[in-house]
């Protein structure tokens, strides 16, 4: 990996497009306007030296696949792709420690077809870039190497073994006018709390990308999971992650899941994080006290240096394992728990920039924000056991509407407000970790109570500034994770009644709409509702009343359910945006875990209205067909011809159209029928 000095030199070069090596530099918005430290940061992908497709044999056998070991023995977490650009995508894999050899380079091959007859790119990642210091993780950044707006297939070669085949997708050109964008929204996947059948379904969805809204790991140990095979035992032996070894173990454990692997093999992911990638309900007092990263959930919370190290190590593991093209400094990429000093607050804030945006032609702009690294502490400064507290409790210090409370920090907020002001796409979309709209447990003017000040209800002044910024943004949609619930709601600029006393009816004109995607597996409110009144709900609240209460006390919430698990598909067209949310049985350890459509809502462009469309055939007909990407008879023929090839066998998740965990002629028939009738 490069040093910071190398990175700074690279960043100051105008454009790097030698064709031989490519390194994605941070695009203009960030690097040029921020100056200082950030200008020295690059998106740190491994260099892949491109070689002519026909000259593979001249590369010392890098593209040799003769050894025939099962892919998982060399690539235990398989492959993944992320952060598309109009000319590329970031490809990810990890080499097993016992397959690693110091002088072994890694080959990357990209083709337009899943059988690799039409190879369009071959690159070699130098041996030195496969680094034990990064836990053998590798990112090959193909930005600049591929064509826009299309799917590709890719695989890695290492030591004579080929990885499973992944499929990735580039972005349309900024001036393109695509007709539609379909994403699978996912979040909150506590490994020990259920099986990932939802991911097996996501793998089969006909979507362009996955949008991950955070909590891709949980920091907790779970030595006695009630779900067989889902125990989590941290290397430290502690109850929660205490450092780099624990974080790496968690990422490896979660990514060992076959259904999760299938989803990431099949779709390019755009991810942000939430709290659990480091520690529950974390914050960092960006401006008030830059030395203090914190979480009252961690037993070492009082030890400032320990927490600084914990955050640095959580960030490093996240950067190693997630296919994200982020700005990160050498201080973090080279961080070694044994020898590195604990990064100080400002150093770390300036060293990792996860927030970024994506343009899907002129159809949609998507901003992914970071709502953890720069946020101030919860309201009440530790006065309250839970996140919930009475609104405007006269004894509350630092109340939720205090003007200097922030979730984004000054710099990111400025960037985000600029994004909102500048977006001219049909849809302006916010990939947002925690619930934006208000969620009261009692709606009673100044006596109102809120469920959870860890979400935007605890940061009301900043929320109001964002809503003000979004007022002139046409068709503003927020995609949200975190609460382990299905929520469909209006975004308002004011959640209080005019006199502040009466239960508030829907106020004024909506600024936009919010779609929350449910947890894949993590405990939802019904699972944790406590009739004793703990957890923020009034005493007596039980599983059956949670959903009713949320809707009855919040007139801006159209739909609320915290009793199921699953994922959602969000489709943007010129006419409308449609959210279809699925309920998948997390107790079934099967790629065919039962799945039902729980609810569907649609927002017509230009309306800011929410229309329930659950059950309308044209809403989810396409997602119910598990067509995969193959779409015409040529694909059927190709599948028939190659159904026994290694490439096909290596990606059963991609071609197993009848979902029987085998690739055979029945899958060909199934695909043929679907093509024929579509």
Residues that bind Fe ion (CB under 5 A): 188, 215, 522
Instruction: Say how far apart CA 572 and CA 579 lie, in whole Å.
Output: 9
**Do 87 and 63 meet the contact criterion of CB atoms below 8 Å apart?**
no
Is the CB of 188 or the CB of 663 nearer to Fe ion? 188
User: Is 599:614 a contact under the CB 8 Å cutoff?
Assistant: yes
Q: How far is the CB of 610 from Fe ion (least distance, A)?
A: 24
Nearer to Fe ion, 273 or 360 (CB): 273
CA separation for the pair 78, 246 (Å, rounded): 20
What stretches of 502-644 adopt beta strand conformation (E)?
Answer: 512-516, 557-561, 566-573, 576-584, 595-604, 611-612
* Residue 36 exposed, middle or buried by CB count within 10 Å (0-12, 13-18, 19+): exposed
Q: How far is the CB of 227 from Fe ion (least distance, A)?
A: 17
Please state, in angstroms and rounded to a whole number, the distance separating the CA atoms of residues 309 and 292.
Answer: 11
Q: Give min distance, CB of 280 to Fe ion, in A.
A: 9
Q: 140 or 439: whose CB is closer to Fe ion?
A: 439
Neighbours of 191 (CB within 10 A): 27
* Residue linked to tokens 């779900």: 227
* Residue 526 near residue 562, CB atoms below 8 Å: yes
Q: How far apart are CB 511 and Fe ion at their closest, in Å?
A: 25
Minimum distance between the CB of residue 544 and Fe ion, rounded to whole angstroms? 23
C-alpha distances in angstroms, 172 versus 169, 427, 510, 584? 9, 15, 30, 32
Please, what is the minimum distance in Å from the beta carbon of residue 429 to Fe ion? 21
Shortest Cβ distance from residue 417 to Fe ion (Å)? Answer: 27
Least distance in angstroms from the C-beta of 515 to Fe ion: 16
Given the complex with Fe ion, which of 481 and 591 has the nearer CB atom?
Answer: 481
Nearer to Fe ion, 189 or 268 (CB): 189
**Is the Cβ of residue 41 or residue 188 nearer to Fe ion in the bound state?**
188
Q: Give the tokens for residue 591.
A: 């790629």
CA-wise closest residue to 230 among 192, 284, 275, 175: 192
Measured from the CB atom, the residue of 188 and 470 that comes closer to Fe ion is 188
DSSP string covering 275-337, please?
A: GGGTSTT-EE-TTT-TT-EE-TTSTTTT-HHHHHHHHHHHHHHHHHHS----EE-HHHHT--T
Give CA separation, 347 vs 39, 238, 314, 375, in Å: 14, 28, 15, 16
The smaller minimum CB distance to Fe ion, of residues 193 and 443, is found at 193
As measured in angstroms, the least distance from the Cβ of 484 to Fe ion is 6
The residue of the chain with the least Cβ separation from Fe ion equals 188
The sign of the CA dihedral 234, 236, 242, 243 is negative
CA distance 145 to 49: 11
Is the CB of 125 or the CB of 516 nearer to Fe ion? 516
Q: What b/e string do you get for 407-423 counting C-beta neighbours within 10 Å, with b at 16 or more?
A: bbbebbbebbbebbeeb
Instruction: Give min distance, CB of 470 to Fe ion, in A.
Output: 25
Nearer to Fe ion, 327 or 485 (CB): 485
Q: Are 213 and 433 in contact (CB under 8 A)?
A: yes
Query: The tokens 């509350």 sit on which residue?
Result: 396
Residue nearer to Fe ion on the CB measure, 215 or 350: 215
* Residue 326 near residue 356 (C-beta atoms within 8 A): yes
Q: How far is the CB of 481 from Fe ion (least distance, A)?
A: 7
């Amino acid at each position: 990996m490069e040093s910071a000095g190398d990175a700074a030199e690279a960043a100051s070069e105008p454009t790097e497009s030698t064709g031989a090596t490519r390194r994605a530099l941070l695009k203009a918005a960030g690097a040029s306007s921020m100056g200082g430290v950030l200008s020295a940061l690059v998106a740190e992908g491994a260099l892949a030296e491109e070689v002519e497709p026909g000259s593979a044999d001249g590369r010392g056998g890098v593209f040799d696949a003769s050894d025939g070991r099962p892919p998982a023995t060399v690539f235990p977490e398989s492959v993944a792709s992320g952060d598309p650009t109009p000319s590329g995508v970031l490809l990810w894999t990890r080499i097993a420690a016992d397959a690693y050899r110091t002088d072994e380079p890694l080959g990357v091959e990209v083709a337009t077809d899943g059988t690799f007859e039409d190879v369009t790119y071959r690159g070699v990642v130098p041996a030195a870039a496969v680094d034990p210091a990064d836990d053998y993780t590798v990112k090959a950044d193909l930005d600049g190497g591929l064509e826009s707006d299309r799917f590709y297939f890719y695989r890695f070669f290492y030591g004579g073994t080929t990885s499973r085949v992944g499929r990735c997708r580039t972005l349309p050109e900024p001036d393109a006018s695509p007709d539609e964008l379909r994403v699978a929204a996912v979040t909150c996947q506590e490994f020990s709390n259920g099986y990932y059948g939802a991911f097996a379904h996501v793998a089969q969805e006909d979507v362009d990308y996955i949008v991950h809204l955070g909590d891709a790991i949980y920091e907790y140990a779970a030595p006695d999971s009630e779900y067989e095979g889902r125990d989590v035992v941290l290397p430290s032996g502690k109850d929660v992650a205490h450092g780099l070894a624990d974080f790496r173990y968690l990422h490896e454990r979660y990514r060992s899941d076959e259904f999760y692997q299938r989803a990431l093999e099949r779709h390019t992911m755009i991810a942000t994080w939430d709290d659990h990638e480091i520690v529950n309900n974390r914050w960092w007092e960006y401006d008030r006290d830059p030395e203090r990263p914190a979480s009252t959930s961690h037993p070492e919370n009082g030890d400032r240096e320990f927490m600084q190290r914990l955050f640095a190590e959580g960030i490093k593991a996240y950067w190693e394992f997630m296919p994200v093209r982020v700005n990160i400094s050498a201080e973090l990429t080279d961080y070694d728990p044994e020898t590195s000093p604990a990064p100080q607050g400002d150093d770390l804030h300036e060293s990792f920039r996860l927030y970024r945006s994506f343009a899907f032609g002129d159809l949609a702009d998507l901003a992914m924000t970071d709502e953890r690294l720069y946020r101030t502490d919860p309201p009440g400064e530790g006065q309250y056991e839970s996140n919930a507290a009475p609104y405007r409790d006269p004894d509350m210090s630092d109340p939720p509407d205090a003007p200097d409370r922030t979730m984004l920090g000054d710099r990111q907020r400025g960037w985000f407000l600029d994004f909102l002001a500048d977006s001219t796409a049909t849809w302006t979309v916010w990939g947002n970790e925690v619930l934006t709209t208000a969620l009261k447990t009692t709606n009673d003017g100044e006596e109102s109570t809120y469920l959870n000040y860890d979400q935007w209800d605890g940061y009301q002044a900043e929320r109001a500034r964002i809503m003000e910024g979004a007022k002139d943004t046409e068709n503003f949609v927020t995609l949200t994770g975190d609460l382990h619930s299905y929520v469909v709601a209006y975004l308002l600029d004011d959640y209080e009644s005019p006199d502040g006393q009466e239960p508030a009816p829907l106020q004024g004109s909506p600024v936009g709409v919010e779609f929350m995607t449910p947890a894949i597996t993590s405990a939802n409110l019904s699972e944790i509702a406590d009739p004793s009144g703990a957890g923020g709900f009034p005493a007596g609240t039980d599983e059956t009343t949670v959903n009713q209460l949320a809707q009855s006390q919040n007139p801006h919430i159209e739909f609320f359910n915290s009793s199921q698990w699953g994922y959602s598909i969000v489709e943007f067209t010129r006419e409308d945006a449609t959210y279809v949310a699925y309920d998948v049985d997390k107790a079934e350890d099967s790629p065919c875990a039962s799945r039902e459509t729980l609810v569907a809502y649609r927002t017509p462009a230009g309306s800011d209205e929410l229309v329930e469309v659950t059950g309308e055939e044209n809403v989810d007909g396409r997602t119910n067909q598990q067509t995969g990407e193959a779409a015409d008879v040529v694909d059927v023929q190709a599948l028939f011809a190659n159904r026994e090839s290694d490439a096909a066998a290596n990606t059963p998740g991609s071609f197993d159209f009848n979902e029987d965990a085998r690739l055979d002629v029945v899958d060909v028939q199934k695909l043929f029928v679907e093509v024929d009738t579509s």
